[in-house]
Amino acid sequence: MKDSVVFRLVFRSFLNIAIAAILSLVGVALLYVVALFLSSQFRSFWFLRDIGRLLLYDIPNSLGLLFIWLILFCISYFALQWMHFSAFGKINDTVRQIADGQLQINHQIVVRQSNVFSILARNVNRLSERLQYALEEERRAEQAKNELITNVSHDLRTPLTSVVGYLGLIEQDRYRDEVELRHYIAIAYEKSQHLHELIDDLFEYTRMRHDTIALKLEPINLVEMLGQLLVQYHMPLEEVGIVSQLHSDEKQITVRADAGKLARVFENLIANAMSYGREGKRIDVWVTLMEGKVSVAIVNYGEPISAIDLPHIFDRFYRADKSRTRWSGGSGLGLAICKSIIEKHGGTIDADSNSERTVFRVILPLQHVEIST
């Protein structure tokens, strides 16, 4: 009720009626006193004496005082209402100027707490802020769309140019022997696979960002999933001289998640750690229970990520220096997809890197959790 403009307007109108009535009575009393004074004084100013006698004796006999009170009441009520609604006029003028482009859309109206229209002024200010925010979001979305088109065009053109080039050499019989022919075919196939990977990642990223894909939530033993992934990567890790180890105080932590999507996140993070942590020769995966959450940290001890690149590695197609950052995955969308998947699960993902180690940390909320030690 306290925020109802209609209630406050009606209440203030009745209050103004009461104030106007009181002011009118006071005015009639003052006129009566002045009439007495004029009728007894200023004998040489006969016209003033006649005015006093008119107000004191003649008009009351014809209900003159009531008429005077009514006139004073109307004047007082009009003045009070004018003062009251002048704030509304200022608000209306400000909104009109914003609509006409004479003021910035985020222009703030000065709010007077003592006025009933202060609620309206605050709401108009909030509307201006929301409109400004919406415009900024639209500009950012348009800029992101343009950047996406530019980056996708660049990334599609590079492998496509190679494929077309080598297939052109084959079509024109510009190879010496079958060995060179197979070499050209192998390069074209490799580039087409990269092209296929980029298109798949782009499609997946777009679906995740626009919530057009539903998660198939089911109970998953997080510790078991991570153990299976490390077994899956055992041979590739061994080939590059890296050993891996899973650290967890619990044998089972069951959470509800989309198994395929969550596995893709950890596969990407393990693959990144394998590719860029070779110098450290070791990958550690730590699973830690927190208050109402579970943390999975994938640690490698290779070359660190620069402090300049670190805040942006989860941005799609982020460019480090003049080339695409290697921490974004093969297509430049790997970590961006990981972030989208984790956020759809209600979690967070971040990274920390220094001269000793690089950590990618995934935190998921514990819902319907079972813990077994």
Tens-place pLDDT, residues 26-83: 887 787 677 666 656 656 555 656 665 665 566 555 566 677 788 888 998 888 888 7
CA angle 230, 235, 237 (to 5 degrees): 65
Indicate whether 324 pLDDT > 50.
no
Provide the 3-class DSSP secondary structure of residue 176.
coil
Q: Residue 220 phi/psi, 5° resolution?
A: -135, 135
- In this prediction, residues 109-137 reach a mean pLDDT of 78
Indicate whether 228 pLDDT > 80.
yes
The pLDDT score that the predictor gives to residue 180 is: 87
The pLDDT score that the predictor gives to residue 46 is: 58
Assigned CATH for 217-372: 3.30.565.10
Between CA 146 and CA 317 the distance in angstroms is 12
Distances (CA, A) of 188 to 157, 166, 174, 179, 198: 14, 6, 15, 14, 15
- In this prediction, residues 219-245 reach a mean pLDDT of 90
Percent helix, percent strand, percent coil in the chain, to nearest 5: 60, 15, 25
Q: pLDDT-derived band of residue 295, with 50, 70 and 90 as boundaries?
A: very high
3-state secondary structure 232-270: HCHHHHHHCCCEEEEEECCCEEEEEEEHHHHHHHHHHHH
Q: pLDDT-derived band of residue 322, with 50, 70 and 90 as boundaries?
A: very low
Provide the 3-class DSSP secondary structure of residue 205.
helix
The pLDDT score that the predictor gives to residue 136 is: 87
Number of CB atoms found within 10 A of residue 336's CB: 23
User: Which carries the bigger pLDDT value, residue 24 or residue 331?
Assistant: 24
Q: pLDDT-derived band of residue 115, with 50, 70 and 90 as boundaries?
A: low
What's the pTM value of the predicted model, to 2 decimals? 0.56
The CATH classification of domain 144-209, taken from the options 3.10.20.340, 1.10.8.60, 1.10.287.130, 3.40.50.1100: 1.10.287.130
CB 330, CB 306: distance < 8 Å: no
Proportion of the chain above pLDDT 70, given as a percent: 80
Tokens 């704030």 sit on residue: 87
DSSP 35: H
The pLDDT score that the predictor gives to residue 179 is: 87
Which is nearest to 31 in space by CA: 66, 79, 62? 66
Provide the 3-class DSSP secondary structure of residue 322.
coil
Domain coordinates of the chain in residue numbers?
5-103, 144-209, 217-372
CB 287, CB 225: distance < 8 Å: no
Which is nearest to 300 in space by CA: 234, 358, 364? 358
DSSP 279: G
Q: Highest-confidence range of 157-161, 325-329, 336-340, 364-368, by mean pLDDT? A: 336-340
